[in-house]
Chain A
Amino acid sequence: MIRPIIFTIITLVTATATANIIPTSQDEVYRARDRVLPALVHIQPVITDYRTGKMIKQSVVGSGVIIRSDGYVVTNYHVAGKAERIICTLNDKEQVRAELVGGDPLTDIAIIKLDLSEYNGELTEADFGDSDSLQVGQFVLALGSPLALARSVSCGVVSTTDRYFSGETRLPSGEKTGRYNNWIQTDAAINPGNSGGPLVDLEGRIIGINSRATIFANNIGFAIPVNIVREVADAIMTEGKVVRSWIGLQCQQLQNMEGWFGTAVDEGVLIASVSDKSPAQEAGLRAGDIILKVDNQPVSARFTEELPRFYKMIAHYPVGSKIELTVLRGDRQIYVDVVTHELGEILGQDLECKEWEFTVKAITKQMAVDNQLRDTLGVLVAGVKRVSPAYEGGLRRGDVIQEVNEQPTPRFKDFYDRYDELTGDGIDRVLLTVRRAGNTKFILIKVTKPKTDDDSE
């Protein structure tokens, strides 16, 4: 009886001693693996793409992780955010269906819910870690389906905790992403298919969601910090979407310019541009103004990495809040009240005009700002089939349709109704009035009727 006790103690002592020399033991990796692997999900969504002038379905592969035992799975927006149907393979190799709950392109997060009606097993949810207390050099594991190879584990360290990509990065589907978050950079191998899978610490807790890797580079991968993921996931699970306040500012770091602008180090956020017709513009804010305080809370962004913190602070206000900004303009300090608007959807609704052989998108406020459109009136041509009467007639991607048969279609629904009205028998010509690069074009489409079943033999 005594012997085993002594043996145990020795073992523990040995373990501690080893830990002092080699920071990670194989056992620790196993423990982390065992905690998270059961929650790993292989996701196969069918997504839709309207950019070639017709609706195309694509089957893609990504990864995800169960965050609630009732079937909620977090993954990337670019994996499942536009999914029509989703099939998931759990870690026990059982397949279940899932449906999209909601997504947020700005942080590239989507939530899907597993349909457990035909599943007999028990789901294991993964635990969340804390991405704010990460250390550079800390050991991490990345789990997922690289190149569709399900249940793969790779290992590395945290390379950087606060990488920032200025918010100009775009998802494959065209939405801008990354404005509201920094990224964890890791050298754990991340390949296509890893998207949406968890990055975990040695306790097996999720510290990030793997989202992107750098092509033509070795082991430069990026994950969305879990503290952001939790916030977004909670909003999607409760509200179905993330609601953000928007005032229309693009800011930049003040590093090296404090002297010129007359601010102290770590004081203020510099306004670089103000969007047209935004609350900030209406309030009179301009490029070169420095925001010192937001509702009396000092703010600063000396480095680009500190910008998301400021953007998030504004986004967190309830829509319609009046915010008091303390602003340094030249050598005067002024106070500016800004009433926030809702940031709203990034991209609008899609419509495939099958008979006319092109696709359109409703224009959101953010699209108007992005594409330098005067307003959100009309619908944006998302794609035109290369060999089609529409292309022949001169319609091009990026055109904004203002009128159909010389009747205005300011809203998406107007266009939808006109399309509905003007398709069918007896209509073989449609005149579109479009705006292109600040001028008007008239486009005549000679409709070729698609073959119906009656025509085929």
Chain B
Amino acid sequence: MKSALIVIVTLLLTGTLSAQTFDFNQINKKAYEYTVSVNLKIEVSFGVQTTEAKSRGIGTIVTNDGLVIFDGSVIDDNDPYAQMAGMQVNTEPKNIEVVMMDGTIYQAEFIGVDHYTRLGFCRITDEKAGKFPFLEFAERNRFKIGEWLMTYTLLPDFVMPPLSSDIGMISALIEEPERFILTVGFNELEIASVLYDSTGAAVGVLGRLTNPAINGMSTAQMMESFSQVEDFLPLLGVIESDKLVKLIADPPTKGEVDRGWMGVYLQALSRDIAEFWGIATTGGIIISEVVKDSPADTAALETGDIIIKLNDEDIPVDREENLSVFQRRVADLGAEAAANFTILRRDDGRIDTLEIMVILGRAPLTPSEAPDYEDEHFEMKLRDMVFADYSIFNLDRGSFKGVVIKEVEPGSWSAVGGLMPGDIIQSIDGRKIETVDEAKKALIKLVEEKPGEVIFFIWRDNKTFFINVKTDWE
């Protein structure tokens, strides 16, 4: 007990000493100009239930036209768990308010969430646009362990002034699975908050080390791993300024995706498997499936090929958790980029080394990015089918078509008739439906005809059937 106390005291002392070098007043003066509180009203639908939730977090204005970054994890629904049938979680920002430190309130429009850093982006909609004070990130790529950083915590809204300074320390320079400047002393409430070094330069924002990717699991397997309770230590650290500058110049927009995509499923080449196959390598990636007609397919990559280099850089991946780093590297190259892969191909006991160039395609839309349509009479929200739907439910991309029900208002005609979120509508009133546009047309036509009942043909749980939705037009 005693020794623990001493340690704490020592830490505090050190903290105080190092923190002395920060000019808090000067940083405060700037920070109060562009630091904001982002108040989100979110609609969360889970299964048949839809609830509204509020969230308040710290944000920062990063351009003079009012672009604001904030913690987007509350509205990032690009989560494989969320895509399970019938349990679809959809989060939709309904309203965003940006509150300046002086109390001025602006409305903002949602732009999108970057799926890797999980940073959210919104833009203030006000005539003052173009004249906002904003933060510029400083170029900085050398950090050392033991260096102190400071940031701000957003205090509850009844407290004035609403910001409190916090300091933390760089604790490790992580190299694998990817470069990550790990910190101690900060907490998860400070995610997306700007980090300053002792010169007052903004060197990044607080973020999380990417979670392990979940690759190609079936729904049941996902449920199983979901139910596994594992100790999870959140690894917080610096999202560095070079990444931020890129994102700010070209914020991720809902519905428009430019991430590079090759169309493969992957498995890490573990040391054990490499040894079993007699491959002398420190890691690599096994292509476990090539998506038909994808860029990888066109480039003649094959299932079983082992990627060992991307654009001449080694890929030291020997565990599944690190696959996401490779996926991100491919994504970051962008659509239409040429990616050079060095691969090993096993053939009758022989191992050949090949160079294969893949012209990357555009990453498929995620469910939340897919075009959608909300129908006011049937009180449901539909979206186009996306790549993930086909792969999760193991459906044939060539022959299976439909639109996915995102939300159904409880008590609506649709809900009473038996339609459920996660259902895939394949025809409405006998008309085949392949896109939300077609669904919209069919539903609008029904508004003119006002039939007493509408027959939907849907797919649910591996089966199709007909559902009769009774209507009650005014």
| Interface positions of A (Cβ within 8 A of B) | 250, 252, 256-257, 260, 270, 272-273, 287-288, 372, 393-394, 396-398, 429, 431, 436-442, 444, 446
Contact = CB atoms under 8 A, between A and B. Distances in A.
B218 A436 contact: yes
Contact of B320 (A260, A272, A394, A396): A394
Contact of B465 (A252, A429, A444, A446): A252
Contact of A257 (B216, B217, B392, B466): B466
A256 B468 contact: yes
A444 B275 CA distance: 10
B303 interface: yes
A288 B464 CA distance: 10
B220 A436 contact: no
B466 A437 contact: no
Interface of B: 216-218, 220-221, 224, 265, 267, 270, 272-273, 276, 286, 288-289, 303-304, 320, 391-394, 453, 455, 457, 462-466, 468, 470
The 10 closest A-B pairs by CB, nearest first: A439-B289, A272-B465, A439-B265, A437-B218, A273-B464, A444-B272, A440-B288, A273-B463, A256-B468, A439-B288
A270 B466 CA distance: 9
Given A272-B466, A444-B272, A439 B216 contact: yes
A393 B465 CA distance: 40
Contacts of A273: 463-465
A437 B394 contact: yes
A440 B290 CA distance: 10
Contact of A398 (B218, B303, B393): B218
A248 B105 CA distance: 62
Given A273-B463, A372-B462, A437 B217 contact: yes
A250 B468 CA distance: 17
Given A394-B320, A431-B273, A256 B267 contact: no
A437 B392 contact: yes
Given A394-B320, A444-B276, A288 B216 contact: no
Nearest to B451: A260
A29 to B, nearest CB: 43
Contact of B464 (A260, A287, A394, A437): A287
A437 B216 contact: yes
A372 B288 contact: no
B464 A438 contact: no
Contacts of B462: 372
Q: Which of B320, B457, B466, B470 has the most CB of A within 10 A?
A: B466
A252 B466 contact: yes
A449 to B, nearest CB: 17
A69 B303 CA distance: 62
A396 B221 CA distance: 7
Contacts of A431: 273, 276
Contact of A436 (B216, B270, B392): B216
B420 to A, nearest CB: 15
A440 B466 contact: no
A398 B221 CA distance: 7
Contact of B466 (A288, A393, A396, A446): A288
Given A287-B457, A437-B392, A439-B265, A397 B466 contact: no
Contacts of B217: 396, 436-437
Contact of B463 (A272, A288, A446): A272
A440 B320 CA distance: 14
A431 B273 CA distance: 8
Contact of B270 (A272, A396, A438, A444): A444
Contacts of B289: 438-440
B195 to A, nearest CB: 37
25 contacts: A250-B463, A256-B453, A257-B466, A260-B453, A272-B463, A273-B463, A273-B464, A287-B464, A287-B466, A288-B457, A372-B393, A396-B217, A397-B224, A398-B220, A429-B276, A436-B217, A436-B218, A437-B218, A437-B221, A437-B394, A439-B265, A439-B288, A440-B265, A440-B288, A442-B288
Q: Which of B286, B464, B470 has the most CB of A within 10 A?
A: B464
A442 B273 contact: yes
Contacts of A272: 463-466
Contact of A437 (B391, B457, B468): B391
A273 B457 CA distance: 10
A328 to B, nearest CB: 14
Nearest to B346: A406
